[in-house]
Structure 1
Amino acid sequence: MTLSADVRVTRAGDFTLSAAVSAPAGTVTALLGPNGAGKSTLLRVLAGLLPLDAGRVVLDGTVHDDPTAGVLLPPERRPVGVVFQDYLLFPHLTALDNVAFGPRCRGLSRARSRQVAQEWLDRVGLGDLAGRRPRRLSGGQAQRVALARALATEPRLLLLDEPLAALDAGTRMRIRTELRRHLDDFGGVAVLVTHDPLDAMVLADQVVVLEEGRVVQCGAPREIATRPASRYVADLVGVNLVPGRGLGGDRVALDGCALTLPGAPVGDVLVAFPPAALRLRAVAPADEGRSWPVRVVGLESQVDRVLVSVEGPPDLRVSLPTGAVADLGVRVDARFWVEPRTEEAVVYPRPTTDGPTPPLG
Structure 2
Amino acid sequence: MTTSPGALPTPTRAQIKRWQRYLANERAEAAVYRELAHNKDGEEREILLSLAAAEARHEEYWRSRLGDYVGMPRRPDYSTLLMGFLAKRFGSVFTLALMQSAEARSPYAKDEDASAQMLADERIHAEVVRGLAARSREKMSGSFRAAVFGLNDGLVSNLALVLAVVGSGASQGAIVLTGFSGLLAGALSMAAGEYVSVSSQRELLAASTPHEDADNLVPQLDVNANELSLVYRARGMGEQEADQHARAVLAGIRANHPSVEAPITGGRFSAAGEEAVGSALGAAGASFCLFAAGAFVPLIPFLFGVSTAVAATVACVLVGLTLMATGGIVGILSGTSPVTRALRQLAIGLGASAVTYGLGSAFGAVL
- Identify, as 1 or 2, the structure richer in strand: 1
- The TM tier, using the shorter chain, reads under 0.3
Judging by fraction of residues, say which structure has more helix.
2
Higher relative contact order (CA 8 A, sep 6+): 2
With the length of structure 1 as denominator, give the TM-score of the two structures.
0.21
